[in-house]
Structure 1
Amino acid sequence: ECHVLPGEGREERWLQHSSQPIQAGLYAGGRIEHYYDITDRKMAEGRRRLLATAIEQSSDIIIITTPDGTIEYVNKAFEQVSGYTAAEAVGQNPRILKSGRQDAAFYRNMWATLKRGEVFEGRMVNRRKDGASYTEDATISPVFDEAGRLVNYVAVNRDVTERLQIEAELHHAQRMESIGRLAGGVAHDFNNMLGAIMGYAEMALERLTPDEPLHGDIQEILKAGKRSAEITQQLLAFASRQIVTPRIIDLNAAIDDMLKMLGRLIGENISLAWTPHAGDCKIEIDPAQLNQILANLCVNARDAITGQGTISLTTRIAALDRDTCAKHQGMTPGCFVVLTVSDTGHGMDRETLEHLFEPFYTTKAQGKGTGLGLATVHGIVKQNHGFITVDSEPGIGTTFAVHLPCRADAEVEVSDDETSELPQGRGETVLIVEDELAILQVGKAILEELGYQVLTATGPEEALQIAGGNEGIALLITDVVMPGMNGRELASRLRLGRPGLKCLFMSGYTANIIAHHGVLDKGVHFIQKPFTRQDVA
């Protein structure tokens, strides 16, 4: 073959050359040279090679089968995604990829479309050689010869597993953000109302003796108010908007202190097994949040057990690298303290696991749960830069593994001892600023009972006017979220002329004004609405 390169006035051509010697006659000893123009053929071969290379190197999965479905060809993308080599796949039926996630109706529709000579397009979940599932968008086309006979099927499939995971994570994040904003608004207004209800009920209870008829009724009002406040806090925890004061604690020591409480929580029919890690398990978290995590997980485990069973608590240290985390959605590399809570209950199926951490999702009977317990746990773990994994088998049990960043080099912080006696004021002047009149009146009454002189303002502008004529104000108690000016801005204005003025912020939801990601800014003092007389003292 000869390749004639293009030049001036000359096109690129391919020629096939053959030479034949002349044996006799006038031209004996000479040769006959034959040249055939094979340009069209070479160009067609080049296109076929280009097509074969493109198919082989395509990032999309390409499968060619016979009319009866026997695989004749797969490209490298097929090998990479499915885990099967070409040698293993050729001669097999695509059923080797079947996951069981598509029903019979799906396949009937697919084959009906193909038998009509039409292109089938659909999304399906298939199974890799190692048993893992993956999702692909498939386009399957029938191939006909010149006579119109069906000779092959060609499937061009795209692995969309990772894209769907990213989209799901984005959708989840957007949904959580929306619910978080809703929770914040609900918490602010709802906690204001609860504060008034609980405050007046508590003051009324102080004026009654236990034998009076109204005493028990008001106690029930307080109980209902506290339960409502707990639900609001669960909403904020789920949305990672709970106001917290994290400190360094040893997880093992904290669980030791909680064992009696957890034992009462799960009941006598269920055994509680505790296996701590041999070394330190230091983490940074608000102890109240750790109590919420353990209580919710243990209650969930208790409710999953019928009759007798066992709940096991363990701790360990785990170092996770990038390769490990890449294989598991939601994991991040680093050193973690891992708290596992396992039960011998009835376990969960795939559908339940997919909705497990969604708010208000519950498989319990009506009235047996709010559906916020596990959502609360998920929110708390996320707020503390950790993650949670779940392993469950129907009929066997469930294991939750809470991963929280390890703080091995930090010193454990000891909390101040709480006092049972309420501290009393000595006539100091307190300015309380609250745009909700009911809360303002309750706060004024509580503070006066505690021995303080109280000035009240229904908004920041009024507070500035009152403060201008009262130099003796020792403490500012202000709502955080108010129209016109927020509580932090008001405190800054008042401190311009009173550098030593102390400030206590109060709110049902701070909207990141005095806290970021739920953690209070340094030097900020905060009381959560609804509050009790003891909280204020």
Structure 2
Amino acid sequence: MKATEEISWALLSAMKQTNETFFLTDSDGIILHVNPAFEKLTGYSHEDIKGRKPNILRSGEHSTEFYKDMWDTLKAGLPWSGRLINRRKDGSKYTEELRVCPVKNDAGMVKYFFAALRDITKELTLESQLLQSQKMEALGLLSGQLSHDFNNLLTIVIGSTEVVLESTKKNTTNHVLLEGILKNSKEYSLLIKQLLIFARRHDSVIKAMDLNSMLSDIRPLVKTTLSASIKLDYRLEEKLKTAKADPEQLKQVVINILLNARDAMPDGGTLTLKTENITLTDGAVHFLKAGEYALLTISDTGSGIPPEVIGHIFEPFFTTKPKGKGTGLGLSTAYGIIENHNGKILAKSEPGKGTAFYIYLPTA
């Protein structure tokens, strides 16, 4: 008996001291014991949750049938494993890999359920970020090759049209038609240049620059771009570190984002431009290298972006605007520019509350 008690004590001590998350229930699913790792993950203390069932963690993300299948498996004396999205005490959600093992007595009856779980939220986030980066890289390669070919063709069209225009009389039908061809060709040429920027096939003049000064310089332009009903709020870090960037391209990034923010606030709102210094560890932000960065945040109080849309906003030609109201290249161009700077641009949004763009730039 003493040996059994010692083993039980050793197992409980191991559960308390390990970083792995465990809990134990009786055959009806009533929680008997949780370890400190469980308390840390869920926010529930041992006293909070003892005597309750694990359904206190339910997030509403799974169907009744899902839980019924799980419980039927366990009641049959079989182990169950799978992924769950659960809710912490503070209301935040997390994804876990859960393994539940029935513990039987000598008669083969289930007396307890022992559960081991692992929080995989960060892993899934990194996996999603990696897939998104790979997709954008593939789009960049495809866009770059197509744009390069079209650019060569348009160069010939524009050059030939200009030569023929010089030999035709003004105000004639042919002259007017050729002017139309030239105008449209030049417009498409500009679109292709934007695609080449997205594909990172565009020369940049990256140098040490004062991000705050650039933002101050374009303030009159920003005010002109925005409607009078939009309040402009600058929050610039006084001791901001020097960024490594192409000033002209960075201006284009800011203007492209501002135009989207303006369109998201037709009835007015607040547009905030904020700069700050930030130190990142490896992988802290979408695979950026560890180091010092200047962070520019551009946020609005507009209509926001639906969750099913936000994953596509940096893709070329993707737009939610009516036909003829946008090319769908503004944000993809911004993405290409920042990637070319060895930085990162990310977006977070909540429908009805607004959108924020986070631009990380390496410092000099």
Classify the TM-score, shorter chain: 0.7 to 0.9
- Determine the structure 2 residue equivalent to 1:373: 330
Spell out, residue by residue over 1:84-132, the C-alpha distance to the aligned partner (whole angstroms, 9 max, x if none): 3333332233233333333444334333433444333221122334444
SS of alignment partner, residue 138 of structure 1 = strand
Structure 1 distance, partners of 2:135, 2:105, is: 52
Q: Deviation above 6 Å: which 4+ runs of structure 1?
A: none
Give 1:357's aligned residue. 314
| Alpha carbons 1:60, 1:159 under 8 Å: kept | no
The amino acid that maps onto 1:81 is L
Contact 2:136 2:315 in 1 (8 A): no
2: distance between equivalents of 1:406 and 1:136? 37
Give the structure 2 partner of residue 62 of structure 1. 22
Relative to structure 1, the CA distance from residue 108 to residue 212 in structure 2 (aligned partners, 3 Å threshold; closer, same or farther) is: farther
Quick check: 1:402 aligned with 2:362?
A: no
- Are 2:273 and 1:314 aligned? yes
Q: In structure 2, which of residues 227, 236, 261 is the aligned counterpart of residue 277 of structure 1?
A: 236
- Retained in 2: the 8 A contact 1:263–1:272? no
Give the equivalent residue in structure 2 for 1:393.
Answer: 350
**Residue identity opposite 1:152 in structure 2:** Y
What is the aligned partner in structure 1 of residue 171 from structure 2? 211
The 1-side partners of 2:73 and 2:307 are apart by 31
Letter in 2 for 1:136: E
Kept in 1, the 8 Å contact 2:300–2:355? The answer is yes
Contact 1:330 1:387 in 2 (8 A): no
Q: How does 1:73-472 map to 2 (within 5 A)?
A: 73-208=33-168, 210-259=170-219, 261-263=221-223, 265-266=225-226, 268=227, 270-271=229-230, 273=232, 275=234, 277=236, 279=238, 282-306=242-266, 308-310=267-269, 312-320=271-279, 322=281, 334-407=291-364
Q: What displacement does 1:351 show?
A: 3.5
- Paired residues, number: 363
- The match for 1:432 is none
Consecutive unaligned residues of structure 1, counting only runs of 5 or more, are 1-40, 408-537
Structure with bigger helix share is: 2
Cα distance, 1:45–1:152 mapped onto 2, change above 3 Å: closer
- For 1:405, the aligned partner's letter is P
Deviations 1:436-488 (A, max 9, x none): xxxxxxxxxxxxxxxxxxxxxxxxxxxxxxxxxxxxxxxxxxxxxxxxxxxxx
Tell whether the 8 Å contact from 1:298 to 1:311 is kept in structure 2 after alignment. Answer: no
CA shift in 2, pair 1:174/1:398, >3 Å: closer
CA drift of 1:327 comes to: 6.5
Q: CA 1:50–1:357 in structure 2 vs 1: closer, same or farther (change >3 Å)? A: farther
Aligned partner of residue 142 in structure 1, secondary structure: strand
Find the aligned partners of 2:229 and 2:183 in 1 and give their Cα distance.
Answer: 28
Mark the structure with the bigger radius of gyration.
Answer: 1
Letter in 2 for 1:64: L
Please give the alpha-carbon distance, in whole angstroms, between the structure 2 residues aligned to 1:272 and 1:217: 45
Give, in angstroms, the shift of residue 160 of structure 1: 1.9
TM-score normalised per structure 1:
0.58
Pick closer, same or farther for the CA change 1:57–1:345 going to 2, 3 Å. same
What secondary structure sits across from 2:204 in the alignment? coil
Distance 1:317 1:297 in 2: 18
- 8 Å CA contact retained: 2:148, 2:196: no
Q: Distance in 1 between matches of 2:200 and 2:336?
A: 5
Structure 1 CA distance, aligned partners of 2:322 and 2:239? 40
Q: Please report how far the alpha carbon of residue 210 of structure 1 lies from its aligned counterpart in structure 2 after TM superposition.
A: 4.7
Residue 228 to residue 123, structure 1, CA distance change in 2 (3 Å): farther
What's the offset of the Cα at 1:257?
4.6
> Residue 83 of structure 2 contacts residue 98 of structure 2 at CA under 8 Å; is this kept in 1?
yes
- What percent of counterpart residues are identical? 37
CA contact (8 A) 2:272 2:300 kept: no
Does structure 2 conserve the Cα–Cα contact (< 8 Å) formed by 1:343 and 1:399? yes
Measured after TM superposition, the shift of residue 72 of structure 1 is 0.9
Q: How far does residue 52 in structure 1 lie from its aligned partner after superposition?
A: 4.1
